[in-house]
Structures are given as structure tokens and as C-alpha cells.
Amino acid sequence: MSNNPLTPNPVPGGQPSTDSRFKPIDPVRVLREHIKLLSVVAFVGVVAGVGVWYGLTKTMPRYASYAQLRVSEGAVDVDSVGQGNISSVPVAAMESYIKSEVYKIQSEDILTKALNNPTVRNSQWFAEYKTPQGSDFNKAREDLLDDHLGVSMIRGTQLIRLMVSTPQKEDCQKIAQSIVGVYLNRIESDTDNQVGGRRRSLVTERARVERDISNLTKEIEEFAREHDLTSLDARLDEAAQVRQQLIEDRGEKTRELTEFQKAYDSALEKHDAGGGPTASDILNASQDESIMLRDERLSSLREQREVSLHGFGEGHRLLKSIDHQIAATEAERDREIERLIREQNESQLSGLKQAIEGLTETIADYNDQNIELEQKLVDLNVHQTKYANLQSQVEAAKEARKRIEQTLSEVRLIEDMAEARPVQIQANPSIPELVFPKIEVIVPVVTFVMVAFVGGIIFIRELVDQSIKSPSDVKLLKEAELLGILPHADEDPSGPSAVERVVEKYPTGLLAEAYRQVRTALLGKMDRRGYKTLLIASAQPGAGTSSVAHNLATSLAFNGRKVVILDTNFRRPAQHQFLDADNDRGLVDILLYGASLDDMLLTVHDPDISVLPTGRAGDAAPELLDGARFHALLAELETRFDIVLIDAPPALLSSECQVLAKQVDSVVAVVRANSDKRGMIDRMARQFAGQRADLLGIILNGVQSSVGGYFRASFRDFYRYRENGESNGKTNGRGRRGVSELAEPVDSE
């Protein structure tokens, strides 16, 4: 079976049980379906909100006056004046001070004085607290603090926000002005007291510092005379230079001593070990004159041997005499070298020892001189350090005096400038404004509440609604799957007034295309299983079984199938009306009187379909459909036609469907969207369970685009496709047959 945008894929059975009282819902579909109602409710909500706002302005108004106080970036606290760059104190560091001022404004003392202001005592608001014995200030203050006064720090700023609200428009500004005035007077008084005390303490401190400067100056003069500090620097430099030179000389001698000591230790170790002479020792000894004379004699003897070797040959006695002289001379030379080396080593040890002793004495002398110089430098540095400390104390005292004088200047500035107060007025209490009710708040809130209430009811109704509206509802059925959907007639752009014979009259429309998809799905199942008889049933009247049967037969006929429609609804027959024919004879005549099938059939062409109406059924019993004649009739119809469609009465209201289900090959259930319940469809499907007929699935009839975005998009795509085809002069499907349209929709239910 091919898929199509108009028809979802078949939905298999075996889904969650319909016993659940709730079902999944599509919020978008629900909102689209009830958008008009919600729009009306929203409009009513706006009107009601305006009414509520107007009523509250007359019965429960609330006016407010606002003031702002600014905490200075300068002297937050008079005691902190002169302790740093107070103009650059960050806001975060001032937060604790600002919060303390917020609490101070709401203190009992401030509020009591504010309430004692004559303008406040004469206000309408304060009149409520007057008693025969006087005025209840405690009660007024408590109510003001709890219900009418709001004081807070504006985060991230140096501002304090004060708000007073009262039902009377004029009173809130009066109370706010009184509170701000009392608080600022308190700030000014506290600041004046702090500034005066601070100034007196600074003057006393300055006098003490000046005495310290005078005493230190005298002490410096006496110390300079006592220790001749005029030449102190020169003596320090001279001593330092001498000591530095001494240290350098001692270092040089120390290095020489180290080298001599290493040489002496090495020579002594060599002498004590008795090892052979080194190449250096032999080389030095070879430079001696006695050794050099022996070397010359050896050289002369070797030359004689070479001459004799050429003259007399090897083995001559002259050669042997020369060789003996050479060996004796070499032995004598070696003994002389050993003697010379031994003498050199002894001489070297003696010289090194003398050098080490001399250097040791020299270094000891340097150490004594260094100790004397160090003591001299210590004494000179002590004098210099003490002198420098005295001078530093004088400079520090002068700096302290300078800071004190600067602080005194700032304190005098605070005394002279109102702007230097810790807190100043940033914005005077404003003209009273209405803060409750606000129309921009009341109207949206009332509208939202009404829309939410109605929307909640709609969603609850939708949640508990058991009716089948879309394929997603079919998923909740246990016993059947979805074969296809048939849109509502209003969704067809061809504009049919009714769904009867729509495939014949509007073959290019949306409904005709939907029937083709259902036809394809049915043929796929029936041809694959070899079925020829199809029972078209519904759970209750109004599902559209008769029109579905006729339109499906027309679509099958257009497909080249030979189709017959068998109308078995004895109580409300309808198939003859689709052909504008009488119902004087038909199925009942065959079953009761043995009439000929050919005489009872109604046949039309283009499309080529046949209809066997019920005839004058009257009170024909359902048992007629279970007799031998009906069995024979079905067999004959299966022989003569490709497909036999049986239009049956509602399954839950009559027994005909159960009787027919035992004799036909297959059955399909027609479900009316927004009408049939899941429970009744599931119950009808269970009736077919165990019967001969195979339940092929469900055809969902009368689906509207409001059931979900899928259908709305699919229908819109079909409209666009159809309009494009018409604009190109193209047609699709068969032409219409000349049959008069029905004035009213006709259905067997």
C-alpha cells in the first residue's frame, strides 16, 4: 500500500487499553479548535478587567509618594575624615552604612517625631488613630511601618528609596515630607556634634605633635655636637675603604695559601708513598748539566755503533765493546736522574712549607686588623643610625602635623558646606500617584485568569473525551488498525455540498483522492488474501456507512473492478436513493419469494456499478440474512462480481452485523470523527473477533483540519497542488456523469 500525504500509515492494533479514562491530547489542535471561544473569552476578560480596575479605584485605591536620599561619597562617617581618599570609596564598602541608615529612618524615634508634625496630625489618614483620650501614636507608628512605609537601598547605587502609600491621595506626600525632614534634621545635628568633637580632638593632637617636633630637634643638635657628626660620613667612608682593601688582600692571600697547601699535600703524599718519578720530574731532571753531558756521550756512542755496524757487521767485538759502553752510560744516567729527582722533591717540600707558614702569619695579621675595623664601623654606624632615627622621627612628626592640618581643613569644610553631609536629599517626595489598582496589571491578570479557567475546562473535557477525532485516537484502540481517513466535506476545495456520490461528481477533489487511498489500502489487503466480500459496518448511526460504501464502490469501479453493493439495512435503506431509484423490490424479494437476481439489480454505467437494494423490507427479520437463500445469493454475487460491498446497519444497535460477519470474507469499520467513542468501537471490534470475517481495519470519516497540524498541512498542500494544476489547464480523474445532485445528504443511519 502506497503512502500519501492525505492518509497516514496504517496504525497497528495492540495499543494501550481503552479502559483508561484519559487520553493524550494535542495542545495545538485543541487551541486551534477552540480559538474562537478563547478569543471571545479574552475579549470578555479585557472588559471585565477594565470593570474590576474601575471598581477598585473607587473602593480600594492606593496612592504613593516617592523620595530618594543620596549617601555622600565623601564623609560617610566624620571619624573617617582624613584617613584616605574618601572621594573614591566604592559603593560596596558603603553598603553596610547605607543599610544602617535605612534602619535609622524606620526607627521609633524618627517615626514618632514625624507623626508629631502638625501637617501629619491634621491628615485624614491620622484621623483614624484619634481617640477621646488623645491620639494613639503607637498604633499609628506600627501601622505606618507595617502597611504604609517602605524604605530600601537601591542595589548597586548610593541611593535610599522611601515610599509612603495611603488610601488618601494628599496624605502620602505629607507623611513622606515629614519623615524625610525629621531624618535630615537628625543627620545634620549628628554631623554637627561629630564635627565639633572631631575638630577639638584634632587641635589637641596638633599641639602634641608640635611639642614632639621641638623636643626631637633639640636632641638631634646635642647628639651631633657630642659625636662630631659633621665628619661622621667621611670617617665611615675611610674606614669602609680600608676594610674593603684589607678584605681583598686577605682573600688573595687565602687563595695563595690554599694553592700552596694543595701543592705541599700532593708532594708530601707522593714522597711518603715512594712512587716512581713522574714525566714532569724526569723532564726537570733531564735539564741538569750532568744529565745533558751523559746524553751527549750516549749520542756519540750510538753514532760510532752505526759506523762500526756498516764497516764490520753484526757480531764484531768492536760493536760489543760499544754496546757495553752504552749500557753502562745509560745506567749511570738513570741513577743520576733518580738522585736529582729526590733532591728536587725535598727542596720543593721545604720551600712549600716555608711559604705556607709565611702566608698563615700574614692572614692572621689581616684578621686582627679586620676585627679592629669592624668594631670601628659598628660604632660609627650606631651613631649614624641613631641620628637617622631621630631625623625620621622629626619627619614623621611633621607629616603627622601636615595630615592633621589637612583633616582640620576637611572638617571645617564639612562645617561650612551642606553638600558635605553624609546624606543629602536626591529627590523630594513626589506628587502622589495611583499605585493600586494599575490598569496595565489588572486587565491582563483578569483576562489571563478567565482564559486560563476556560482553557482549563476545555483541556479537561478534551482529556476525558472518549470520542475518536484523529488517527492518534485510533492508536488507543486494542483490536483494529487505521486503513485511511476521509476528510470532512468542508475541507474539499471542490466545494461539494454533501459527501454522497462525491467520487463520481468531484473526481479531482480532496474527498475523491482520499477514497482512492482507502481503496488502495483495501485492495492491497483483499487481493493479497483472496477476499471478495467486504462488510462495511459502523458502531452507531451517523457514521456515514452508506455514503462510504457507495463512494468506495465508485472508486473501485473507476479502478476497473466490477462491483456490486448489497444493501442489508432493512430499517433505513439508502443505496437506492444514490441512484434516484425506487425501493419497490430488492433483496427481500429474493430471500422471501425467490425472485431473480437480474430482475432485482439496479445497474448504472460510468461508473459501472450495480446495486441490490433492500426492497420493501418493512419488518423483515434479521434471520433472513442467515438462511440458505442468502448464502446462495452471496455465492452467486462472488461469481459474477469482483468485489461485493455489503452496507450493514449499526453493529451495536442490531444483530445483522454479527450474522453477516459469519458469512463474509472481511469487514471494515467506519468511524465518524468527533462522534464515535473509543469504547464502543473497541466493543464492536470484539464482536467481530472469532467470526469468519477478517477485520481489515478502520476508516476514519469526517476528519477536519482542526484535529492536528498534520491534516491542516496536508489539506493545504493538496489545495495548492490542485490550484496549480487548474491554472495550467490540467485535469485529473474522470469526468462527471449526468446525474442530478441530491438536495439533502442521505445515509443509511
CATH number, position 705: 3.40.50.300
Asked if 404 and 550 sit in the same domain, the reply is no
Q: Any idea which of 166-180, 387-401, 720-734 has the lowest mean pLDDT?
A: 720-734
CATH of the domain at 89: 3.30.1890
pLDDT above 90 for 247: no
Residue 77 predicted with pLDDT over 70? no
Q: Which residue has the cell 442467515?
A: 626
| Residue 217 counted as domain residue | no
The percent of residues in the chain predicted with pLDDT above 70, rounded, is 83
Around Cβ 698, how many Cβ atoms within 10 Å? Answer: 28
pLDDT of residue 432: 92
In a domain, 748, yes or no: no
Is the pLDDT reported for residue 645 higher than 80? Answer: yes
Q: Is the pLDDT of residue 212 over 70?
A: yes
| pLDDT value, residue 743 | 29
Chain centroid to Cα 421, Å, comes to 47
Check residue 390 and give its pLDDT: 83
Query: Within this chain, do residues 671 and 604 fall inside the same structural domain, yes or no?
Result: yes
Q: Cα 251–254–259 angle (5° rounding)?
A: 130
- pLDDT tens, position by position, 498-538: 788 888 888 888 888 999 999 999 999 999 999 999 999 99
Q: Is residue 742 part of a domain?
A: no
Same domain, 166 and 35: no
pLDDT at 745 over 50: no
Whether 428 and 548 map to the same domain: the answer is no
CB 76 within 8 A of CB 172: no
* Confidence at residue 286, expressed as pLDDT on a 0 to 100 scale: 76
Neighbour-count burial of 738, counting CB atoms closer than 10 A to its CB (0-12 exposed, 13-18 middle, 19+ buried): exposed
Q: pLDDT tens for residues 621-644?
A: 888 888 899 999 999 999 999 999
- Do 543 and 655 belong together in one domain? yes
Residue-wise pLDDT for 562-619, tens only, equals 999 999 998 889 999 988 899 899 999 999 988 999 999 999 887 889 999 998 877 7
pLDDT tens digits, one per residue of 104-157:
999 999 999 999 999 998 898 988 888 887 788 888 999 999 999 999 999 888
Same domain, 532 and 671: yes
Same domain for 425 and 378, yes or no, is no
Q: Please, what's the largest Cα pairwise distance for the chain?
A: 176
Instruction: Identify the weakest region by mean pLDDT among 249-263, 423-437, 697-711.
Output: 697-711
Query: Does any domain span residue 214?
Result: no
Lowest-pLDDT range, 232-236, 281-285, 567-571, 721-725? 721-725
Residue 293 lies in a domain: yes
Nearest to 529 by CA among 650, 336, 677, 692: 692
**Tally of CA atoms within 13 A in the half-sphere of 568 that contains its CB:** 33
For 333, other C-beta atoms within 10 Å of its C-beta total 19
User: What are 191's three cell numbers?
Assistant: 554631623
CB 615 within 8 A of CB 587: yes
- Contact yes or no for 52/436 (Cβ under 8 A): no
Strand partners, 643: 563
List all residues 6 or more positions away from 352 whose beta carbon is below 8 Å from its beta carbon: 260, 263, 264, 267
Burial (CB count <10 Å: 0-12, 13-18, 19+), residue 573:
buried
Q: Are β-strands 643-647 and 533-538 bridged in parallel, bridged antiparallel, or unpaired?
A: parallel
List the domain range (segments joined by +) for residue 448.
Answer: 21-60+437-465
- Mind listing the pLDDT tens digit for each residue in 330-351? 888 888 877 777 777 777 778 8
| C-alpha distances in Å from residue 300, one per residue of 41, 283, 293 | 144, 21, 11
Alpha carbon distance 425, 419 (integer Å): 10
Q: 436 pairs with which residues across the strands? A: 62
Q: Which of 518, 483, 482 is nearest to 499 (CA)?
A: 518
Quick check: is 211 in a domain? no
pLDDT at 183: 92
pLDDT of residue 746: 42
Contact between residue 549 and residue 647 where contact means Cβ atoms under 8 Å apart: yes
Q: Are strands 694-703 and 602-604 parallel, antiparallel or unpaired?
A: unpaired
pLDDT for residue 239 is more than 80:
no
Do 541 and 626 belong together in one domain? yes
H helices present in 60-136, as ranges: 91-105, 108-115, 118-121, 124-127
What's the pLDDT score for residue 133?
78
Q: What SS3 state is found at 130? A: strand
Preceding omega of 437 cis (within 30 degrees of 0): yes
Same domain, 184 and 317: no
Residue holding cell 482507502?
A: 518
With bands split at pLDDT 50, 70 and 90, how would you rate the model's confidence at 376? confident
The residue-averaged pLDDT of 360-367 equals 84
CA–CA separation, 351 and 671 (whole Å): 133
pLDDT at 554 (0 to 100): 93
| CA pair distance 731, 729, nearest whole angstrom | 7
Q: Name the nearest CA neighbour of 699 among 551, 560, 505.
A: 551
Q: Say how far apart CA 135 and CA 326 lie, in whole Å.
A: 149
Task: Single out the residue of 72, 71, 81 nearest to residue 198, CA to CA.
Answer: 81
The cell numbers describing 542, all together, are: 451517523
d(Cα 149, Cα 175) in Å, to the nearest integer? 9
In a domain, 444, yes or no: yes
Pairing mode, strands 609-612 and 482-487? unpaired
- How many domains does the structure of the chain reveal? 4
What's the pTM value of the predicted model, to 2 decimals? 0.49
pLDDT at 420: 59
- Regarding whether 122 and 33 lie in a shared domain, the answer is no
Looking at 417-485, list the stretches that DSSP marks H as alpha helix, in order from N- to C-terminal side: 439-464, 471-474
Q: What are phi and psi of 670, to 5 degrees?
A: -100, 125
Label the pairing between strands 609-612 and 602-604.
antiparallel
| Beta carbons of 77 and 422 less than 8 angstroms apart | yes
498 lies in the same domain as 588: yes
CA–CA separation, 425 and 441 (whole Å): 31
Q: Say whether both 409 and 536 belong to one domain.
A: no
Residue 670's DSSP bridge partners are: 538, 699
Taking the C-alpha atoms of residue 351 and residue 358, their distance in angstroms, rounded to an integer, is 11
- Rounded Cα gap, residues 6 and 511, in angstroms: 10
CB 180 within 8 A of CB 162: yes
Model pLDDT, residue 548: 94
Q: Average pLDDT of the chain?
A: 81
Q: Is 221 a domain residue?
A: no
Predicted confidence at residue 16, as pLDDT, reads: 43
% of the chain at pLDDT higher than 90: 26
pLDDT of residue 641: 95
